[in-house]
Amino acid sequence: MTRRDIVVIGASAGGVRALRVLAAALPADFAAAVCVVLHVGPYESTLPALLEAVGPLPAAHAQSGQRLKPGRILIAPPDHHLLLEDGAVRLTRGPKEHHTRPAVDPLFRSAALSQGPRVIGVLLTGGLDDGSAGLQAIKQCGGLVVVQDPADAEDPGMPSAALQAVEVDHCVPLERVGALLVELVQEAAPAAAAALPVSLVHEHLAGVGGENAMDELRQVGVPSTLVCPDCKGTLWEISGARPPRYRCHTGHAFSLRSLAAVQQEATENALWSAVRALQEKELLLRKVAALERSAGDEARAAQVEAEAGQLREQAEMLRGLVEQG
């Protein structure tokens, strides 16, 4: 009997505590392999040790080529996406998704495509909506979806987005997730579909890159008027995606929410650069005014100082707009 014996978990803000609560609730004989993505970016992470300290299951950063094994927790290492292929782990520094690496969606999507109905996807606390598209993929391929109750999450963003985008199988408080998984991994998995969803395959191949990535992207999207904030290439809107999602031919991917968040950050950075430029120009003009005054041209000095004063007013006005958000 094939069981639901692969659990993939995603978390972001508040995720360390949530994952420790979950690890403590899983028994030593837990009958499924566990793979975890926490948004840690490129920074050093001690998450394996933190999970081992509270629960009986061994935990480690995943290594490419490792086979999935029941009762073991494999964690995406910093700055690497964690993918599942043919029952084994693959690590990649491929394009960021939602402006982060590791990201939850690549793990969920690859697990869905490679393991089908055997997969249980679990989405915990975190901001924005990484994981929602991945949970959709898991459902498309016959897997089960568990989402932490947003009212119980330190950051309800990711769980709330998932509930809006996916017909979840279970939405429970964090304290109940462990016991629920113990029950679910004992269930028989239904037979896998004869064929994988074609659009999902194309999008996955577009995301992992390669010489045919552009052709894969053409199969699932149409060019938009938006530009990828990571590489400045054209963003393609994924056809039929709800909520809307975007991907460039390099492989960077965004939801509408994550794209808006990144663009907001880019806009703020541009505005601060403008403030700096105005302040530097004001400083230079005041030096020019001093030079003109030392040369005896008081009229020219006054004119330049007036221009510098206007620049200061413009810089202060722009700074006020930025600080107001």
Sign of the alpha-carbon torsion through 198, 203, 209, 215? positive
Asked if residue 1 lies in contact with residue 188, where contact means CB atoms within 8 angstroms, the answer is yes
Instruction: Identify the active-site residue in 105, 129, 130, 152.
Output: 130
Q: Report d(CA 216, CA 36) in Å as an integer.
A: 27
Q: Is 61 a catalytic residue?
A: no
Instruction: Identify the active-site residue in 5, 12, 155, 255.
Output: 12
Determine the distance from the C-alpha atom of residue 313 to the mean position of all C-alpha atoms in its chain, rounded to a whole number: 39
Asked if residue 101 lies in contact with residue 208, where contact means CB atoms within 8 angstroms, the answer is no
Asked if residue 310 lies in contact with residue 286, where contact means CB atoms within 8 angstroms, the answer is no
Q: What tokens were used for 276?
A: 């700096």
Phi, psi angles (nearest 5°) of residue 13? -55, 125
Instruction: Identify the active-site residue in 5, 39, 80, 81.
Output: 39
Q: Is 39 a catalytic residue?
A: yes
Q: What tokens were used for 267?
A: 């806009």
Locus of tokens 């987005």: 161
Q: Is 204 a catalytic residue?
A: no
Catalytic site positions: 12, 39, 130
